[in-house]
């Protein structure tokens, strides 16, 4: 027979209770839906009644969320759900890797930290390797976190410049056929990279770095024939590279440089029958020293929960 338990968790202030339980009890509802135990909010207290093990798990969730709120001053529904998921799996020790690891503060004062264990492993891989592949669905933070690590390396004087590139597949990389100067031609393809840099550095610092050529944003075709030294180089949307383009890009690596290559193998825009350079590189280079591949999945998606469900549904469809 299962033992039953009642526990009262008391917060120091009403403000903490409101933050942990969410606006209109949003987070309390998430908790209640995740467990069979009865969870009752009473002002600055929460009373939990139910199965002994479950009550102790709920207490752990509430205490972890309280620590996170006290450290960062904010909580999101993703934080609540992810905390519940790890504690249910008995992986509470992994929460420190995620919740207590602020890697950078943006120009607007926003703390950037990994939101999942997968993101934390990705950041460690970038630190320790010359070349890191981040492969997985949209919304997993692959590109944004790569840009964060590039900015950190620049600020720490580990590199002298940041180079950001994407294959311009829609134009077949034949940008000479498009109207306007180079910047006007490549802007639509590179906008997501600009957005990440605006957010992290602020518009003024970003523009200053661009003017001084400390940050360079260019289509992949413009990397040909160069050796990229003392640079942090990011290739985004790499699933849209051909074998030749990927090989060309990887062999641009010079002394004092790092590369991060990101992409989603389920979203290729290459002509039918063309092998993705990213898919091939993942297979060919998986045992090469100094190169690490991190695979993200739907558990790492930090967008609307329906996005994770959509990704999961398509993966099941593809597998069948």
pLDDT at 4: 80
Residue 151 has pLDDT above 50, yes or no: yes
- Contact partners, residue 35, CB within 8 Å, separation at least 6: 50, 54, 57, 58
| Whether residue 149 is found in the same domain as residue 60 | no
Number of structural domains found in the chain: 2
pLDDT at 188: 65
Q: What percent of the chain has pLDDT over 70?
A: 91
| Whether residue 74 is found in the same domain as residue 146 | no
User: How much is the mean pLDDT over the chain?
Assistant: 86
Strands 131-135 and 291-295: parallel
pLDDT at 313: 82
pLDDT at 177: 45
pLDDT at 186: 57
| Whether residue 238 is found in the same domain as residue 194 | yes
49, 77, 99 - which closes a domain: 99
| Whether residue 205 is found in the same domain as residue 315 | yes
Residue 131 has pLDDT above 90, yes or no: yes
The CATH number assigned to the domain holding 63 equals 3.30.1370.10
From the list 246, 258, 251, the residue with the least C-alpha distance to 225 is 251
Phi, psi of 257 (to 5 degrees): -115, 160
How would residue 320 be classed by pLDDT, with cut points 50, 70 and 90?
confident
pLDDT at 171: 43
Cα–Cα distance between 3 and 38 in angstroms, integer? Answer: 15
77, 99, 121 - which closes a domain: 99
pLDDT digits (tens, 9 = 90+) for 266-298: 888 888 888 999 999 999 999 999 999 999 987
Specify whether the CB–CB gap between 235 and 249 falls below 8 A: yes
| Whether residue 156 is found in the same domain as residue 287 | yes
pLDDT at 2: 60
| Whether residue 165 is found in the same domain as residue 294 | yes
62, 84, 99 - which closes a domain: 99
pLDDT at 175: 45
Specify whether the CB–CB gap between 63 and 110 falls below 8 A: no
Residue 305 has pLDDT above 80, yes or no: no
| 209 or 109, which is more confident | 209
How would residue 3 be classed by pLDDT, with cut points 50, 70 and 90?
confident
| Whether residue 37 is found in the same domain as residue 164 | no
pLDDT at 252: 92
- Helix 26-34 with 52-72: angle, nearest 10 deg: 150
Residue 220 has pLDDT above 80, yes or no: yes
| Whether residue 170 is found in the same domain as residue 244 | yes
Give the residue numbers spanning the domain of 298.
Answer: 104-319
How would residue 259 be classed by pLDDT, with cut points 50, 70 and 90?
very high
| Whether residue 195 is found in the same domain as residue 91 | no
pLDDT at 193: 82
Specify whether the CB–CB gap between 104 and 148 falls below 8 A: yes
Cα–Cα distance between 131 and 226 in angstroms, integer? Answer: 17
| Whether residue 87 is found in the same domain as residue 110 | no
| Whether residue 157 is found in the same domain as residue 281 | yes
pLDDT at 178: 46
pLDDT digits (tens, 9 = 90+) for 162-216: 999 988 754 444 444 444 555 555 566 677 788 889 999 999 999 999 999 999 9
Overall average pLDDT of the 45-60 stretch: 90
């Amino acid at each position: 027979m299962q033992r039953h338990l009642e526990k009262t968790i008391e917060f120091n202030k009403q403000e903490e209770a409101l933050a942990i339980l969410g606006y209109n009890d949003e987070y309390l509802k998430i908790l209640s839906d995740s467990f069979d135990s009865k969870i009752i909010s009473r002002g600055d207290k929460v009373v939990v009644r139910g199965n002994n093990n479950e009550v102790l798990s709920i207490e752990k969730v509430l205490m972890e969320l309280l620590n996170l709120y006290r450290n960062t001053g904010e909580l999101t529904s993703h934080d609540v759900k992810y905390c519940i998921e790890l504690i249910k799996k008995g992986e509470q020790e992994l929460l420190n890797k995620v919740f207590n690891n602020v890697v950078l503060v943006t120009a607007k004062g926003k703390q950037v930290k990994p939101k999942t264990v997968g993101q934390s492993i990705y950041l460690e891989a970038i630190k320790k390797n010359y070349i890191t592949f981040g492969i997985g669905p949209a919304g997993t933070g692959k590109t944004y976190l790569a840009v964060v690590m590039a900015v950190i390396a620049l600020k720490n004087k580990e590199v002298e410049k940041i180079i950001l590139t994407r294959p311009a597949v829609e134009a077949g990389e034949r940008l000479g056929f498009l109207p306007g100067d180079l910047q006007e031609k490549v802007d639509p393809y590179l906008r997501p990279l600009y957005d990440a840099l605006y957010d992290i550095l602020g518009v003024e610092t970003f523009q200053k770095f661009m003017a001084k050529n400390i940050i360079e944003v260019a289509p992949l075709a413009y990397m040909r024939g160069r050796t990229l030294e003392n640079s942090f180089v990011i290739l985004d949307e790499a699933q849209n590279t051909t074998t030749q383009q990927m090989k060309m890009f990887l062999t641009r690596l010079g002394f004092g440089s790092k590369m991060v290559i990101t992409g989603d193998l389920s979203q290729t825009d290459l002509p039918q029958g063309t092998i993705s350079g990213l898919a091939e590189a993942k297979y060919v280079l998986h045992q090469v020293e100094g190169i690490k591949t991190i695979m993200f999945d739907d558990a790492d998606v930090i967008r609307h929960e329906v996005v994770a469900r959509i990704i999961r549904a398509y993966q099941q469809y593809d597998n069948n």
